[in-house]
Amino acid sequence: MFKIRECFLFFLHTNETWSLQKCNNKASLLQQRKKRHTVKKFFEKIIQGMLTVSGFVTSIIILLIVLFLFTEGAGLFTKPKVEDGYEIVINKKNAVKQLTAEQVKDIFDGKVTNWSELGGKNQDILLFRLNDISNYFTDEELGAQLEYVPAKISQLISQHEEIIGFVPKEYIKSDFSGKCVDMGKVKFKDVLFGKEWIPTATPIPFSEFYL
């Protein structure tokens, strides 16, 4: 009887231990799940915060781009139609006072070859780009440091009534013997509906040509 009782008590003790371990395991699992859920929530909040910040930064960047484009666009309408840093020059006796961007482009593209097509005399148009100056003057005449270039350009324009030149402003001095053509400013309609720009044949920079 004593052994049976001991076996019975041992069984009860074993069963209680196993049940307790089972409960402890369940509690441990629940705790682990709770920790994983907390970590998951934490990372979700971090990601959500990063997305919010990213969206905010993107919005600021877009606003800055729009502001930049608006500023650049507004400045465009104050600029002349000729390429920045250059002038379209002709002889003072030429009756033509104003040219459009399309007309200048057609002249330098060779589509318009006579001044009569533009309201001037019946004269063939003589094109002049800065790199053409060596066709008219020697290196000695231009100067060792090219210091006589402005004077020679002025002389050339004054000697040829039929000439039109595309010349850097730096060579147009106060005593220039020709005249600069009024091209007007860039207009809003030119930006939206314009199909042409001037001139397609841009001259080689003088400093590069003589290197």
Distance linking the first and last C-alpha atoms of the chain? 122
- Could you tell me the pTM of the whole model? 0.55
- Helical (H) or strand (E) element with 87: strand 86-90
Out of 19, 44, 76, a domain closes at: 76
CB 177 within 8 A of CB 158: yes
Per-residue pLDDT of the chain (211 residues; tens, 9 = 90+): 544 555 544 444 555 555 556 556 666 666 777 777 777 777 788 888 787 887 778 888 888 887 776 665 555 445 555 667 889 999 999 999 888 888 888 999 999 999 999 999 999 999 999 999 999 999 999 999 999 999 999 999 999 999 999 999 999 999 999 999 887 665 555 544 555 554 444 444 444 444 3
Same domain, 117 and 38: no
Same domain, 202 and 129: yes
Same domain, 118 and 25: no
Same domain, 10 and 108: no
Residues 6+ apart with CB under 8 A from 127: 107, 108, 163, 164, 165
Out of 27, 44, 76, a domain closes at: 76
CB 180 within 8 A of CB 172: yes
- The C-alpha atoms of residue 119 and residue 164 are separated, in whole angstroms, by 14
**Domain span including residue 25:** 1-76
Same domain, 103 and 184: yes
Q: How many CA atoms lie within 13 A of 123 on its CB side?
A: 16
Out of 48, 76, 104, a domain closes at: 76
CB 91 within 8 A of CB 99: no
160 C-beta neighbours (distance < 10 Å), count: 19
